[in-house]
Structure 1
Amino acid sequence: MPDALISIKPKYVDRFLNGQKVIEIRNRKVNLVNGSKLWIYATLPKASIQTIAYVKQVEIDAPKIIWEKHRKLMGISENSYLRYVNGSSKISAIIMKNIQKLNTEIKLEKIRDLVPGFQPPQFIKYMEDHDPILSALLSILSKKSI
């Protein structure tokens, strides 16, 4: 199962960690299989990976249907949701499980030390077993316990 790296604003990462949010929305089709590991990169000002989660399921549907079905699990207001989906005909709802905070944050600078020029994804970065970014993340964590 491939891993993936996803960028999320820090306030929403916090909502994942405190249980207010278990669904992340994307405006495009997401190709993640159930059980995939998501490395969650908290954007600036945190600029670090501090959270991992596993994909329970990905649903692709019209924004109205996703909202009606999952609004209590998205950790976002309806106005913010509507601004984000902004006329999309189909969106992806990534339903997560086993959301965990790492014991140590993986700072952007540390990733760049091992993978020069690394830029956090704006959408999602899919990572196969030998991806240099995944190797760097695993290397950093092997030096510290999660």
Structure 2
Amino acid sequence: MSKFLFISVKPEFSHKIISKEKTIELRKNRPNVKKGDHVLIYSTVPDKSILGFAKIKRIIELTPQEMWNLYSDKLGIDKERFDEYYSGISKSIGIEVSNVCKLHTQINLDMIKSYFPKFSPPQTYKYISNITALRTYKKLTLRFTSL
């Protein structure tokens, strides 16, 4: 069964993913996902909202230098911050995405918490089954379109 990878991303980078300017999201640890799984894109403070979702095209594992040399045009980050992020780390992980879909209405954290009070966005990422994601989206959209 495929699943959703729920990732937290700084607004500068989440908006670049949604606009398709950035097609590879960088991580220090490899998530347990495969090609064809989906990723929910949660934009952190100050947005605090789910902006959209995408399909995972592939997971790339390289040294930071190889990642930069091969994919710098798809990373949405400058060299200085890239080097700072991977300082002292020998492996870089890239989550390459495709089929990016922007939600018509962002789902903000207050909306989610009003229905799921114990919910907290992931520090980096967490996994959600497709069924859970669809049921949650349906409940949230039905609730908030009727307000």
Q: Same fold (TM over 0.5)?
A: yes
Given that residues 42 and 49 in structure 1 are in contact (C-alpha distance below 8 angstroms), is that contact kept between their aligned partners in structure 2? yes
Number of positions where the alignment pairs a residue of Structure 1 with one of Structure 2:
143
Partners of 1:141 and 1:134 in 2: how far apart?
A: 10
- Aligned twin of 1:40: 41
Q: Structure 2 unaligned segments of length 5 or more: list them.
A: none
Q: Which runs of 4+ in 1 moved over 6 A?
A: none
- Aligned twin of 1:70: 71
SS in 1 for 2:72: helix
Partners of 1:128 and 1:14 in 2: how far apart?
A: 24
Given that residues 8 and 44 in structure 2 are in contact (C-alpha distance below 8 angstroms), is that contact kept between their aligned partners in structure 1? yes
TM-score normalised by the chain length of structure 2: 0.88
Given that residues 111 and 137 in structure 1 are in contact (C-alpha distance below 8 angstroms), is that contact kept between their aligned partners in structure 2? no
Q: Structure 1 unaligned segments of length 5 or more: list them.
A: none
Q: What is the RMSD of the two structures over their aligned residues, measured on CA atoms? A: 1.7
- Aligned twin of 2:95: 94
- Aligned twin of 1:118: 119
Give matches, 1:4-19, under 5 Å: 4-19=5-20
- Aligned twin of 1:107: 108
SS in 2 for 1:32: coil
Residue 46 of structure 1 and its aligned partner are, at CA, apart by: 0.6
How much identity, in percent, do the aligned residues show? 29
- Aligned twin of 1:81: 82
1:20 counterpart = 2:21: yes
- Aligned twin of 1:54: 55
Residue 4 of structure 1 and its aligned partner are, at CA, apart by: 1.4
Range that drifts further, 97-106 or 82-91: 82-91
